[in-house]
Amino acid sequence: MKILYQPWQELVIHEVHEMDVKSFLEGIANQVKASGQVGVVPMVNWVDGVAFIIGVLPETEDIVRDKLNGRLHYAFVSFTRTSYEPEKNVEMNGHKYVVRLQKAEMNRDLVDLADFLKRNFSQSK
């Protein structure tokens, strides 16, 4: 059997949202709460001082064709600059929520993405 490894040649990000840490964590907690997933602890990627989530596009014919040609599309990337802790806590309306940070330093594409975000977007207020 022959195995080919073909990493993405190009990543297209259609929207980028940089947020302060509190707003980012509240947004993640609100997504879980709105979806009605009781007891679920959300997880976000973290690389070298950047925590982020990625929104993907639907698998249309054009998107799949681009993927097969090495071009990956993200609908959006939302991120914040923060130190690593396995869990971050946020309080909203008297309720405490936990968001887990998952180190993604073994994924070269995500390392490159975090580096791109740090270099190309201004610091949060």
Neighbouring CB atoms inside 10 A of 62's CB total: 10
Q: How does pLDDT run along the chain (125 residues), one tens digit per residue?
A: 999 888 889 999 999 999 999 999 999 998 888 777 767 789 999 999 999 999 999 999 999 999 999 999 999 999 999 999 999 999 988 888 999 999 999 999 999 999 999 999 976 44
Q: Token match 């490159």: residue?
A: 112
- Listed residue (111, 121, 118) closest to 8, CA to CA: 111
> Residue 105: its pLDDT value, please?
96
| Sequence spans of domains, the chain | 10-120
Helix (H) or strand (E) holding 72: strand 71-81
